[in-house]
Structure formats: C-alpha cells, structure tokens
Amino acid sequence: MEHPPPREVQRAHSRILRSSDQRDRYDADALERLAAEVEESVEVVREALVARDGFSLLSLDKPTEAGGSTIDVADVGDHAAEAAEARTMLAPLVASMDERERQILAWRFVDEMSQRQIAERLGMTQIQVSRLLQKMLTHLRATLGDVG
C-alpha cells in the first residue's frame, strides 16, 4: 500500500500548481527560484515535483481501453449550492468567535497560510496553532451537528 507524500510535500505541490512556473523540467537555478516563490526548501520542492505524478488524476471522461466510449462514473452535482449553504450556516458561528480566532481561520483557509506561517505571525509554535485550529474546527463541527 502506497503512503501519501508528507504534508509539506503536498503543500508545496499545491503552491507549485498555483505558481507562475509550470515547466516539465527544472535546472538548479529554476528550482531555486520556484522554491523561493512557493516559500519552501529546494528539497521539499524537488520531492513535490517528483511526487506530482502521484497527484495527477485520470479524467473520468477518458475513453475506456476496450470500448473507446465514455462513461459517467461520478455525478458531480451542484457544489456551488452546497458551498453557499455551508457559508450561510458557518457565517453566524464564525461571527460569534473572537477576533483572534476569526483571523486565524482567515489566514489558514482564505489566505492558505501554513500553520508555521501563522505561528510566526502570532509568536507561537506550529503545534500550538495546530491545537488551536483543531479546537476551533471541533467546536464548529459540533455546533453544526446540533443545527443539522
């Protein structure tokens, strides 16, 4: 059984996908520039680039080998409606949180900052931020469970 890449490699891969540099091959200088752009070490970026094939998904519309026709194996549904409903349910809960908690959630899920980056801003350790986030998310889930 294959294991997923470490979190830092997954995070680097996400950042690489959003970066302006989308090459198939990187020389040492280009690798260093990419690492600086995505704010990760060269080693982590190198691992993310090596692992990127594992992140690639096959198209669900790709013709099958034998028949050459496409089959619908997943109903994607209306995710926009689900997202709107989630925002509607979460808005009052987030509004009831204190300013610091709202800021941490915004940094993590809107600005997509890493726990390490948030910790540096707050003068905390990454573990403390992780525990804080876990506590907030557990509270939100429990409260949403009571609502739903």
pLDDT at 123: 96
For residues 136 and 101, the answer to whether their CB atoms sit within 8 Å is yes
Question: Quick one: how far is CA 51 from the chain centroid?
Answer: 16
Question: What pLDDT, on the 0 to 100 scale, is given for residue 115?
Answer: 92
Q: Is 121 helix (H, G, I), strand (E, B) or coil?
A: helix
Q: What pLDDT does residue 143 have? A: 83
Q: What is the pLDDT of residue 126?
A: 93
In this prediction, residue 56 carries a pLDDT of: 52
Q: What is the pLDDT along the chain (148 residues), one digit of tens a residue?
A: 456 667 787 787 777 777 767 776 778 888 888 888 888 888 888 887 777 655 555 555 555 555 555 444 444 555 677 777 777 888 888 888 999 999 999 999 888 999 999 999 999 999 999 999 999 989 888 887 765 5
Run of H or E residues at 56: none
Pair 30, 21: CB distance under 8 Å: yes
C-alpha distances (whole Å) from 15 to each of 12, 88, 94, 127 are 5, 28, 27, 22
Dihedral sign from CA coordinates of 41, 47, 51, 52: positive
The neighbour count for residue 105, using CB atoms within 10 Å, is: 18
Fold category of 79-147 in CATH: Butyryl-CoA Dehydrogenase, subunit A; domain 3 (1.20.140)
